[in-house]
Amino acid sequence: MAIPLIEFDGMLARLHAGPEALSTEERGSLDRDGFVALGGALPRDLVSRLLDRLLELRRPGAVKAMHERERGCWRVDGTLDLHAEFHAAWSNPRLLAAVRHLMGAPFQPVSLNYRAPQTGFGHQGFHHDAPFLGRPPSQGYVQSIVALVDFTAEGGATRVVPGSHRFDHFPNEGMPDVEGRHAQELALSGPAGTIFVLNGNTWHAGGMNRSAVPRHSLHSSWMARTVTSEVLVNQRQPVPRGILQEIGPDAAGVLNAVSVG
């Protein structure tokens, strides 16, 4: 649904997600590096409750199945219909302000998925998340990751290449082996409750979890409302009407989801 930018920014302002929600340093990191770590974005007690709700899905008869289609990783596709508390993982004011800074236009979340690589798993090759939007650098896509446990290099925290959001080529065109290390890579480390926000063009890769605990996280992708890619549109999920009422009209307006029930 099209919406004038001034109206959209009004919703963000009422959600306390205007430009002032980010520091000058955080905005600079997005512009310079193509990513930012928003430390302390979610309180520890909320993180614990979200993780408890997710782990309940491993029980027989759970309302939504947890799967391992990615070997060695627990996954849940779509969590926005589980409980209103999950919406805090995308509606955090600092996160919304960061996405607005990158997009420069009205946007909406695409999905909120759970991923938890187990010990010895989670490695990915370097990739670019939005090749379906054309040659890089493209506009209209952002990725965010909510750390539900401490993110460390040992735990396989997501690796990023600073400045790669400005590259005019894909990782497989610029690296001899995308499965290997990049000379400039950094691990996105931070305590549980940190939200990492990545420009959609930033080269990144999951690391292998060498710790003794799963690397629990929630991944949210974002699209500009002008984007018509079926790859993204088909990932959007309906949300129960009761949850939309609970999160309030402005958050529901940003979410722009089909209501059900």
**DSSP secondary structure letters along 145-168:** EEESS-B-TTTTPPEE-TTGGG-S
Q: What is the pLDDT of residue 187?
A: 97
Q: What is the pLDDT of residue 234?
A: 86
**Helix, strand, coil percent values for the chain (each to nearest 5):** 35, 20, 45
Residues contacting residue 110 through CB under 8 Å, at least 6 positions apart? 220, 221, 222, 223, 232, 235, 236
Grade residue 239 by pLDDT with cuts at 50, 70 and 90: very high
The pLDDT tens digits for 143-169 are 999 999 999 999 999 999 999 999 999
Residues in the chain, overall count: 261
| pLDDT (mean) for 108-133 | 94
Asked if residue 123 has pLDDT above 80, the reply is yes
Mean pLDDT of the chain: 95
Q: What is the pLDDT of residue 124?
A: 96
Q: What is the pLDDT of residue 261?
A: 78
| pLDDT (mean) for 211-227 | 96
CB count, 10 Å around CB of 54? 22
C-alpha atoms less than 13 angstroms from C-alpha of 220 in its C-beta half-sphere = 25
The pLDDT tens digits for 48-71 are 999 999 999 988 888 888 888 899
Question: What global pTM score does this model have?
Answer: 0.96
Domain ranges of the chain: 5-254
Q: Which CATH class is domain 5-254?
A: mainly beta
Grade residue 1 by pLDDT with cuts at 50, 70 and 90: low
